[in-house]
Amino acid sequence: MNILAFSALMWAAQFSPGPDMLLLMKNAITQSRAAALGTVAGIVCGLGFWSAFILGGVSVVLSQSPPLFLLLRLLGGLYLAHLGVRLLLDVRRQRPGAAGADVGTASEHVDTSARQFRGGFVQGLTTNLLNAKAFLFLLGSLTAFHPPGSPPWLKWALGGIVLGQASVGWAGFVCLLGWPPVRTWFMRWQRPWNAVFGLLLLAAGVAAVWPS
């Protein structure tokens, strides 16, 4: 029963508004599927790090050290604000109706997809690792469902749920956003959507730096 409750909690958390979801939506809608899947991989790796950190019992160092936690929050907020400003500058430079990519050769497409995947991976990993709220949520939920004296297998089961649900759920979400009718509608309004995502990322960054 505890496993089912934890699984339901993770599903609800993963699809709630937050920096990771916002970045994933932005990359899935305004960039390529390779960039979006790279973002998923980066976020999942970040979650894997936090889960191992917390279940390993060393998270107390960060949770009980206000200066370290403040540094994490400031770095995360500045990074999100940086992404938002870059996106807003791209909107300013982009011509109305300009979207799409060059056709190019097959080898060029493979190279481009690999670069886009790496770029999305770095963004997803960095955003997740600098997301103080993600750390606090996992700290609270994992410690609540894995109290002292729990059997060793439970640690692996909870970690597997976190990573498995994130991988499957977000990959499916990326495929949905990449569905041609959905993507075509978003690409038709690419500039305003980019502006919205840029402002939201900037707002999330400011909120992280200045939570009051």
Domain spans in the chain, listed from the N-terminal domain onward: 21-96+106-209
Q: What rounded mean pLDDT belongs to the chain?
A: 77
pTM higher than 0.85, yes or no? no
Q: Lowest mean pLDDT: which of 66-80, 88-102, 119-133, 154-168?
A: 88-102
According to the model, what pLDDT value does residue 69 have? 66
Cβ pair 81, 200 in contact under 8 A: no
Asked if residue 96 has pLDDT above 70, the reply is: no
pLDDT tens-place string over residues 39-91 = 999 999 999 998 888 887 665 565 566 776 677 667 767 776 877 787 788 76
